[in-house]
Every structure is written in C-alpha cells, then in structure tokens.
Amino acid sequence: MNYQYKMHLLFEERYMFMFNHSEKNIDVITPSYGLKDKINAIFKIFTLNLKILFNSNNIDTTKDKIELLNEYFKIKNRTKVISLYENLISTYTFDNTDISALKNVCNSYVSKKEYSKLLETIEKTIETMSLPPKDISCFKMYKGIALLALKQTDKYRIEIDSICNIEIDNTIKYDIFIRLAFVFMDLLKEYNEAFYAASKAAEFISSIDFKFLSGYYSLLTLVFCCIKEENFSRLSFRISQFIKNESKLKFEHCYFVGMVNCKIAQKMQKNEIYNVSVKFLKKAARLAQNDKQLTVCFALMVDCFAKMQKFYQARGYSKLVIKHTNSETLKAKYKQLLSAHYYFTAEYQKSLETSRELLNHLDIFEESFVLACIAINQFRLNQFEEAEKNIKKAKLLNSKNKEIHDIINTYYEAIMTDKNK
C-alpha cells in the first residue's frame, strides 16, 4: 500500500507542474527566452563575432559588442556577458541606450555571485545616468541583493524600502519584492530577509490582479518553508482574512488562497490547513466559469484529501477531474490516481477495473507499472494465478525507472511469498 501511494505522489508531482510553474535561483529575475529566441541568438552571436573580428581595426565596434553581450545573455552565457562588459568599461561610457545591457550585466553578476562588482556597477550606473522610475527600481533591487550578500544589512533595508516610494505601478513593486524574496531564500539563504521582502510584497496585494498573483504565489510560499512555523500560520491567516473581507470574490481570489494554504499545509503537515485550502477551493469551484477552472480546483482538492488520507473524498474529486478536463493525458493520470484511491479503501474490484483501463494509455504509463497495479489487485481478490502471471510479466519488462522497479519487486515478493506458503 505504501508503494502504491508513493506512485500516487510520483505522478502527482509530474502533472502538477501544469498548474503551478516554479522557477528557481537566479532565473526568477531573468527574462524568459524561448527556443526560437535562443536559436536566433546563436546565429546573431556568430554574425556579430565575425563582424567584430573583421572590422576591429577599421571602425568602432562598441555597439556591436553591446549587442553581442545581450545575445550571450539570451543563451545564459553569463561568463561572456561579464567578460564583454569588463572589456568595454575601460574605453566606453554606458548611457541610457544601454540600460538593457546593464541589467543583463547585473543579472550575470548575481548569477556568478560577484557581489562587489555588482554593487560597483549599480552605483556607477545610478550616479552617471538619468534613469526613469521603473529602471531605478530595478537597479535598486539589484543593489539590495548586493548589499545583503555583502552583509551590509542596514543599508540593504534602506535601499529596498525606498522602492516603495518610487512612483511606479504597484504590480512592479510587488514583482520586485517577490523576486527579492526568492533570491534571498534560494541564492543567499537569508531566510529572515526573504520573509521581510515577502512581507513587503504583501503590502501591494490588494492593488493588483489576482491572475497575476497566483503564478508567483506558488513560488512565494517556498520562502515560508525555510523559516519559523508561526510565520506559515500568520501568512495563511493574513491571506484568508484578506479574502474574507473582499466584497466581490472572484475565482482567482479563492483559488489563490486555496493553493497557498495547500502548499503551507504540505510543509507543515497539518490537516487543519488542508481543510482551509479545501474550503476556498470549493468556493473557487462555485465561481468557476469554465471546465479548465473547475479542473484545477478539483485537482488541488484531490491533492489535499489524499495528503489527509481521506481517500473516499479524493476519489470523488478524481472523477470530477476526469469529467471536466479536456486533456487525455490528465484523464489517464487521474484514472491511475482513482485506481489508487479505490485500493486504499479496499475496493479492489473497482481498483482492478480502473487499472485495466490504463492499458489503453501505455503512451503515458509504463506497461510494467500497469501490470503491477493489476497484479496487486488480483492478489487482493484471491485471483492468485492471474496475479502471478501479471507480476512475472511486469518483472520481465525490467523497468529502468527506480520507483517502478522497486514497486514491482515489492509486489512480486508479496505475491510469490504468499504462493509458497
């Protein structure tokens, strides 16, 4: 039973990325470039390098080098970004047309943990250039990272607090403090300061669109995984109270609170917080306007109930996910979870029937895993001959997945040991 539940969690981890996207480390302050952008960047790098090589003695190639710096940044070659910048600063004074390049340099210094050089670059930029408010806030964000990394805590607090007073949209302020929280947590391991930055972000929650919030908030809760438990509780309470006071609740509001509380509950392992999550997810489902919104609500409720080992409820919501999703892949994965939930409630015949349906989805599941699920249910139903046949076939398929391999071996041992009694 433990191994089948382990598979429940394994598949859960694989499909939940569809709902909660997470980035780690420096990537939270790095623009996202797609494959097409990166391919174009590689061609541009080749072209620019040739241009610089053949024109270096005839014409000024400074702007080409700055463009090259930006292209290297797109493919995350931060060593080249820094090298080009440090070669340029001895002969060239950066101006307002180079702001994007300077941001890329700052980002690269953070990535390489070269905080003294980062601070020097920012101070020079702020002193010598007339920057618009949005860019000032961005460079102050980088300066805050540098000061904290260099253990200049008092100065760092003054710097990031000053962002609150810049005349920019609250969505930008929220975004900056969320990004700071994750860099402090994941890169600098400064968990208390991560909490401080996250708390500053919370000041701007009521001013922004909850669609914007929900994506980042799945990341934000990781901050609270690294600090004292009472801060989790405070966060859960604060968000729940905020929503309670809203006169016009929307789907995004309730789903957002449900998702956050679910993540907090996962870390704290407290059923009462899972119950808070379920409460808001049920509200979100009532406010849902389409099947996609219903699907994400029901999927998260499956997670909550399964973690509380309330498998009757989990299987009910698994059925609703299957009903409302348009994704054949998701339907198949929730059939697997449904089979597990039936198993946990000792409804082996239903678990067996659902497991057999997975044979139609061998593009998603390994055949060896499906056969093992079928075999263990047959074993529970005293269908020993069929169970032995299927578990032997599963074992012969020799899965390369360690989790599946371990499950098959455990089931094999249970079935064959019973046979030899």
Spatial separation of the C-alpha atoms in residues 330 and 340, rounded to whole Å: 15
User: Phi and psi at residue 288, in whole multiples of 5°?
Assistant: -60, 145
pLDDT in the model for residue 15: 29
Question: Helix crossing, 170-182 with 191-202: angle to 10°?
Answer: 170
Spatial distance between the Cα atoms of 347 and 322, rounded to a whole number of angstroms = 19
Helix (H, G, I), strand (E, B), or coil: what is residue 10?
helix
Tokens standing for 19? 């709902």
User: What gap in Å lies between CA 113 and CA 133, rounded to an integer?
Assistant: 26
The answer to whether 288 touches 251, Cβ cutoff 8 Å, is yes
Q: Give the predicted TM-score (pTM) of the model.
A: 0.55
Helix pair angle (191-202, 153-161), 10° resolution: 20
Say what the pLDDT of residue 320 is: 96
From first to last of the 421 residues of the chain, give the pLDDT tens digit: 444 444 334 333 332 322 233 333 444 456 666 677 888 889 999 999 988 888 766 678 899 999 999 999 999 999 999 999 999 998 999 999 999 999 999 999 999 999 999 999 999 998 889 999 999 999 999 999 999 999 998 899 999 999 999 999 888 898 898 889 878 877 888 877 887 887 787 677 654 455 455 545 544 555 555 555 555 566 666 555 555 555 566 787 788 778 878 877 887 788 888 988 898 899 889 999 999 999 999 999 999 999 999 999 999 999 999 999 999 999 999 999 999 999 999 999 999 999 999 999 998 899 999 999 999 999 999 999 999 999 999 999 988 888 899 889 999 998 888 666 5
Backbone phi, then psi, for 272, in 5-degree steps? -65, -30
SS3 242: helix
Helix H or strand E segment including 143: helix 133-149
Distance of CA 262 to the CA centre of its chain: 14
Q: What count of other Cβ atoms lies within 10 Å of the Cβ of residue 91?
A: 8
Is residue 372 within 8 A of residue 391, CB to CB? The reply is yes
User: In this structure, which topology does domain 327-421 adopt according to CATH?
Assistant: 1.25.40
Strand, helix or coil at 67?
helix
Amino acid, res. 263: K
Measured between its terminal Cα atoms, the distance across the chain in Å is 21
Contact 416, 379 (CB under 8 A): no
Residues 327 and 298: their CA atoms lie apart, in Å, by 14
Q: Which residues contact 77 (CB under 8 A, 6 or more apart)?
A: none
Q: Which of 59, 29, 290 is nearest to 179 (CA)?
A: 29
Count CB-CB contacts under 10 A for residue 16.
15
345 within 8 A of 312, measured Cβ to Cβ: yes
What pLDDT is stored for residue 230 in this prediction? 54
Domain ranges for the chain: 31-168, 327-421
Element (H, E) at 287: helix 271-287
The amino acid present at 46, given as its one-letter code, is F
For residue 246, how far is the Cα from the chain centroid? 27
For residue 224, the model assigns a pLDDT of 56
Nearest to 92 by CA among 124, 137, 45: 124
Distance (Å, whole) CA 12 – CA 9: 5
Radius of gyration of the chain (CA): 27
- Whether 174 contacts 205, CB under 8 Å: yes
Q: What is the CATH number of domain 31-168?
A: 1.25.40.10
